[in-house]
Amino acid sequence: MPTEAAEPRAWWKQAVVYQIYPRSFRDSDGDGVGDLRGIAEKLDYLVALGIDIVWLCPVYASPNVDNGYDVADYRAIAPEFGTMADFDHLAREMASRGLKLVMDLVFNHSSDQHRWFRSARASKDSPYRDYYIWRDEPNDWRAVFGGGAWTWNEATGDWYFHIFAPEQPDLNWENPALRRELWEIMRFWAGKGVAGFRLDVVSFFSKKPFDAPQQGGIFPFYANGPKVHEYLREMRREVLDPLDLMTVGEAPGVTAEEAPLYVDPARGELDMIFHFDHAGIDRTPEDFWKPAPWKLSDLKEILTRWDRALAGRGWNSLYLGNHDLPRLLSRFGDTGAHRQAAAKLFATLLLTLRGTPYIYQGDEIGMINTPFENIGEYRDIVARNGWAEAQAQGRAESEFLADHILVSRDHARTPMQWDASSHGGFTAGAPWIRANPDFSATNVAAQRADSDSVFHYYRRMIALRKATPALIHGDYVLIDAGHPDVFAYVRTLGDVLLLVVLNVSGSAVDIGDLGRDGATVIGNYDGRGALRPFEARVLRMAGETGEFASPACSMNDVDPVYMGLDRRGEA
Ligand code: GLC
């Protein structure tokens, strides 16, 4: 493992990050859209939770074809979010509370309304022509949001490339003048006190030759192009190192084996990446927008594989929800009788793995999917485009929505539920997307008043993590990889050995003597014995840690008897 001395920028390893989707967090002026002043109102809430870093999804000027992931001006604040003065106010308010701000940078593509693209599409002589990617003939590659990846441009009689919507033309990273502009934009925000960046689809920056026919999943065609590491090293040299900025790159299509190429500190690229292996666990391999069944053993295998791949060769990022995924409780947990227990269980998982945890807004109160009733209630471009394609194929709305409700990004984008007043206290006006009717029962005000709530469990779990170096830096070893319902592992550092046992099922599970001699550090039920539905326990064990600390030991060769666990973990 690289030492802290070798990596002086590693303050972000001890940190807990909170992701804000500004459109849906808090509306201060009643126009139905969340805004920067609204975020500033809620900073004390984040401090009470124990947050160190806020990652703000894009707040730049945008026509909002993809809710801000289509940037028309990288140096301007979108009017619906406020002004640059509001941004500066927010940055000051954060700094005075010791909160660090991470901005979202959308550098794979711009909006088609960006002045660079407007100029480039008007004439082949535009100075910005080479900021984008043009061909006389398209190939058969598909766009992530449906349709082909090339769009015809009448004025210049050729085609431009876009991995996402036609309104999101891809930037041409081959062009050094473009890269210099991007470094300047990063310097601009760093000058405003920003501590780091989340880089949107970083793995797509360098394009592969457009010659192979596209078959199967599309991410592999777009990810890991030949020059991506060269570009990231240049970014590191030019901007990140001189300004001491943290980075986390969103990395679809990057495997655990490839991950160290992006985050091994010795290579000087990024600090962390977000992988997609568990994001895609309930999707078909060919189509990210098609639901598929998932198994706990796969989730355990994925999270364990990523820990191993980065152990000593980089640092992991941990997330179970974000603005692109349905709510984690609806995907992996329980939304009925065991909802509270399940929410606390996933808090335990997120905050006891090795890596920097990212909490998505609302997960800390256990928000769940919204019962959207018809296509008109969805806002996301993925829903609208998917429905247009379904109609072209003659599919019925009910049939399309039966699938789409399981994958919709809009579930993560409904208003944050602050209290039991109208629209969950998010806005005094009409919200841009409907609130989940569940806000009257599940909201921040009710949970802050209840010491046994999901919110207070997150708060305690965050405090525990920060006070426990073994939970941050300790080795991780999975126990009983094949158990269908129990996710159990140890974290070890020096003579500290913590055992985490999670029953990811709605039934009781007998775990024999597992953890019998341990002292409970935290849990979501009282008492010992068989695990109750969605029970989570963290125990401190006395004894020899050497056996677990060996990086050579494989997932299956930890002797379960050592921990008092029989092979199946059941009586
Ligand atoms: C990333 C963002 C997502 C956006 C896409 C295109 O995946 O997280 O919200 O739609 O990039 O920018």
Residue 1 has pLDDT above 70, yes or no: no
Sequential DSSP letters for 406-435: HH-GGGGGSPP--SSSGGGGS-SS--SSPP
Rounded Cα distance between 467 and 148, Å, is 50
Nearest CA to ligand 1 atom 4: 69
**What does DSSP say about strands 53-56 and 17-20: parallel, antiparallel, or unpaired?**
parallel
Q: How far is the CA of 301 from the centre of ligand 1 (A)?
A: 26
Q: What is the pLDDT of residues 268-303, one digit of tens each?
A: 999 999 999 999 999 999 999 999 999 999 999 999
Tell which atom from ligand 1 comes closest to the C-alpha of 164. Answer: 6
Pocket test for ligand 1, best of 144, 324, 379, 380 (most atoms within 8 A of CB): 324
**What does DSSP say about strands 246-250 and 196-199: parallel, antiparallel, or unpaired?**
parallel
Q: What is the 3-state secondary structure (H, E, C) of 439-468?
A: HHCCCHHHHHCCCCCHHHHHHHHHHHHHHC
Residue 543 has pLDDT above 70, yes or no: no
Strand partners, 536: 502
Q: How far is the CA of 202 from the centre of ligand 1 (A)?
A: 11
Residue 77 has pLDDT above 90, yes or no: yes
Q: How far is the CA of 393 from the centre of ligand 1 (A)?
A: 26
Chain center to CA of 242 = 27
Rounded Cα distance between 20 and 41, Å, is 13
Handedness of CA 80, 82, 83, 88 (dihedral sign): negative
Q: How far is the CA of 200 from the centre of ligand 1 (A)?
A: 6
Q: What is the pLDDT of residues 89-119, one digit of tens each?
A: 999 999 999 999 999 999 999 999 999 999 9
Tell which atom from ligand 1 comes closest to the C-alpha of 108. Answer: 12
H helix or E strand, kind and range, residue 189:
helix 176-190
Per the residue annotation, which of 35, 66, 250, 269 is the catalytic one? 250
Percent of the chain with pLDDT over 90: 92
Rounded Cα distance between 245 and 264, Å, is 16
Helix and strand totals (H; E) in the chain: 18, 18
Residue 453 φ then ψ, to 5°: -80, 170
Residue 357 φ then ψ, to 5°: -80, 140
User: Mean of the per-residue pLDDT values for the chain?
Assistant: 94
Nearest CA to ligand 1 atom 5: 69
pLDDT at 544: 53
Pocket test for ligand 1, best of 104, 164, 170, 197 (most atoms within 8 A of CB): 164
Does 250 participate in catalysis according to the annotation? yes
